[in-house]
Amino acid sequence: MSKDHQEAAEALLGDGAIDSLIGRVGRVLAGDDLSGRGLRVGIACSRFNGGVTWRLLTGALSTLKDHGVDRGDVTVMWVPGAFELPLAALWLAKAGADAVICLGAVIRGETSHYDLVAGECASGIQRVALDSGTPVAFGVLTTDNLEQALERSGSDNKGRDVALTALRMARLVRS
Ligand code: INI
């Protein structure tokens, strides 16, 4: 095993670690219930770099479906770019979503204001989550080039990861 792989393995939470807390504390809230039945999910998706965000969206939708979210409980809102995602997330949260997913792609090679767009998008999304109390999952790729963005929206798809995060957090809120 290479040094990098060994370090990565050591950073993982070991199997059974969370369960081993049972009986040692009053309650363990681990967000292990990933059932989507009855959850309303809002997805804010950026048109900018739409070829990438479309792939993130399909990843997110198939994960939500796999976990039992009713398609009628999913709203997709398209916005011009990543900069607009926080406002859309706020609207979706206010409209009653149990969880919101933000999908975007900010690619360094194609913009001089990469840092501004990426930074404001990330801090805006976090602010919406903290101010509204609604979980908002951050599915915005920030990459150096298109190739990396395609990689993170392909078989290893961040849209899937953030859909799981949204379900986990929505269940945690309810617990
Ligand atoms: N929006 C993105 O989602 N990704 C980008 O890479 C990007 N670039 O390259 O600038 C981008 N810009 C648009 C921005 O999000 C806003 O839509 C625009 O500034 C209008 O408010």
**Using one digit for the tens of pLDDT, what is the confidence trace for 37-54?**
999 999 999 999 999 999
> pLDDT tier at 115 (50, 70, 90 boundaries)?
confident
- Mean per-residue pLDDT for 67-94? 98
Q: What is the DSSP string of 73-84?
A: GEEEEEESSGGG
Closest C-alpha residue for ligand 1 atom 11: 81
List the structure tokens of 40: 């309303």
| pLDDT at 79 exceeding the cut of 90 | yes
**Separation between Cα atoms, residue 131 and residue 81, nearest integer Å:** 22
Pairing state of beta strands 74-79 and 99-107? Answer: unpaired
Distance 105 CA to ligand 1 centre (A): 9
Architecture of domain 3-174: 3-Layer(aba) Sandwich (3.40)
Share of the chain above pLDDT 70, in %: 94
Contact partners, residue 85, CB within 8 Å, separation at least 6: 44, 46, 79, 102, 103, 104, 121, 124, 125, 140
Contact 43, 74 (CB under 8 A): yes
pLDDT given at position 175 = 85
Q: Measuring from atom 4 of ligand 1, which residue has the nearest CA?
A: 106
User: Residue 3 — very low, low, confident or very high, per pLDDT cuts 50/70/90?
Assistant: low
Is 113 known to be catalytic? yes
- For residue 140, which atom of ligand 1 is closest to its CA? 3
Ligand 1 pocket residues where CB is under 6 Å: 46, 48-49, 80-84, 104-107, 110-111, 113, 117
Give the bridge partners for 157, in sequence order. 153
Does the pLDDT value for residue 112 go beyond 80? no
Nearest residue to 94 via CA among 42, 168, 166, 162: 42
pTM over 0.85: yes
Q: Are 53 and 46 in contact (CB under 8 A)?
A: yes
Residue 6 has pLDDT above 80, yes or no: no
Of 4 and 89, the structure prediction assigns the larger pLDDT to 89
Domains of the chain, by residue range, sit at 3-174
Average confidence (pLDDT) over 19-26: 92
Residue 110 has pLDDT above 70, yes or no: no
As a whole number, mean pLDDT of residues 166-175 equals: 93
